[in-house]
Amino acid sequence: MEIDFNRGDKIKRAIFFAVLLIGIVLLSGCASENDATFEEEIPVEEEIPVEEDTEPISETTLWEADGIIMENEYRNRKDFGNGRFIVYWSNDDEYIYMALKGQTSGWVSIGFEPAQAMMDADMIFGWISGNTCNVLDIYSTGMFGPHPPDTELGGTDDILEKGCGQENGFTIIEFKRKMDTGDIYDEAFVRGQTVNIIWGLGSAPSFDSRHIQRGSGTIKLD
């Protein structure tokens, strides 16, 4: 009987190629699974408002309510809605100074600490009509309004200084108010507070015009 000494080598080679083939199949399956998972995690809703945190400015210049946002006039800035709405602010123990810059020729607004949707939001609403700068201290009594001026509810108008301007398709309002006004229709701010906000842009320079965009987010006081 003649023994085939190459048979063992042939078996080993066959086993090796079989294992290699199985490994290739498994690796291919893992790659496909990972690709599918990655694709599912990519956000597809482009209309979701985007917030971009910006580092506080280290030095500030003198604040002025003139509707012009000067370099270093505010210590903080935060963008919302892919840059369509920008909030600038500084504060000390007594006062908060703020600018709202929105991509519209209509009104811009911000609401502080809403309970749900717009309910109970302390709001600032501003626009330019002709040469008149309008900045209102208002309060939302319902989830979707109405939001009359504080004075119509028995409160007070606590805007101490205001200014308006327009720049490259954006409307700008600036205002100053006390951190704690003592008005029940105003949020009583404290230093270091993280404030929940809602914001909106109007279709026309009128208190009664509808919004064209809105969103929500947070800002952190100094």
Distance separating alpha carbons of residues 58 and 48, to the nearest angstrom? 31
Tokens of 146: 């109405």
Which class in CATH covers the domain with range 52-220?
mainly beta
Name residues of the chain where pLDDT drops below 70.
1-61
| Residue 201 and residue 103 in contact, taking contact as beta carbons nearer than 8 Å | yes
pLDDT the model gives residue 48: 34
Cα 3 from chain centroid (whole Å): 81
Domain boundaries, the chain: 1-42, 52-220
| H or E, element range at 130 | none
> Does residue 77 sit in helix, strand or coil?
strand
Predicted TM-score (pTM) of the model is: 0.74
pLDDT digits (tens, 9 = 90+) for 72-97: 999 999 999 999 999 999 999 999 99
CB atoms within 10 A of CB 132: 9
Whole-number Å distance between alpha carbons of 122 and 152: 14
pLDDT for the residue numbered 191 = 98
